[in-house]
Structure 1
Amino acid sequence: MEKLDYVIKEFNKWHGREAQARILEAKEDEVIIEFRGTFCKTCGLYDYFDDIAWEAIDFGLKIKPVEVVESEEDFEEGRYVVRYKLERD
């Protein structure tokens, strides 16, 4: 869980102006992460979800986004809850 906290911290450091992530729930083989923000309109939305997985590699974690559990969008801001699978070696 500590490594995952660092992943979120790094993501927020690099994407914080557009999107903030936070862990809602963490289990042994999956994690639920909430994203909130304005999100870059020229970037792909799913790129944000994939960026967490790429960031995790730097901390020795393998996670993969598998499902958008919830989504709320309005003109200016959005909220997305994404389920990730943790892969074990």
Structure 2
Amino acid sequence: MTLADIIKIDQIAQPWEDLRNDFDSVGLKAEGDVKERIATLVEKWPEFAQILIYGEIDSYNEPVEAVARACEAAGASIEPDLFADR
């Protein structure tokens, strides 16, 4: 039995990829800096194992925070959910 079998990573990974696709859909409708920041987030989207196993939360948090800053500058404040340090 592998770690993937124990934690059922495939059951977690699909919703994670669905979230990426949701960001992509929103980015296609956005404009300016917000559009660019969302495109960067989607392009650099980490594999869920990077976060779950290796704890590389900044690979997600930093691009999401960049999107939030761009939204704020455009007059649309958002409060994204971020991963917390262990």
TM over 0.5: no
The normalised TM-score by structure 2 is: 0.35
Whose strand fraction is larger, Structure 1's or Structure 2's? Answer: 1
Query: Using CA pairs below 8 Å that are at least 6 residues apart, which structure has the higher relative contact order?
Result: 1
The normalised TM-score by structure 1 is: 0.35
